Amino acid sequence: MIERDIMAHDGNSFQIDLNEVAPGEFIISVVWRGKTLGSLYLRGDREEATAFLDAARQRIVVAITGDGPADVDKQVQRELVDLSRNLHQPRG
Q: Considering the chain, what percentage of its residues have pLDDT values greater than 70?
A: 72
pLDDT score recorded for residue 8: 55
Q: Distance between CA 87 and CA 54 in Å, rounded?
A: 13
Instruction: Tell me the pLDDT of the chain averaged across its residues.
Output: 78
With a threshold of 0.85, does the pTM exceed it? Answer: no
- Smallest CA-to-CA distance from 27 within 6, 47, 48, 49 is with 49
Other C-beta atoms closer than 10 Å to the C-beta of 12 total 11
- Cα→Cα distances 21→1, 60, 64, Å: 10, 23, 27
β-strands 2-7, 25-32 pairing: unpaired
More confident residue, 2 or 43: 43
pLDDT score recorded for residue 16: 86
pLDDT score recorded for residue 68: 57
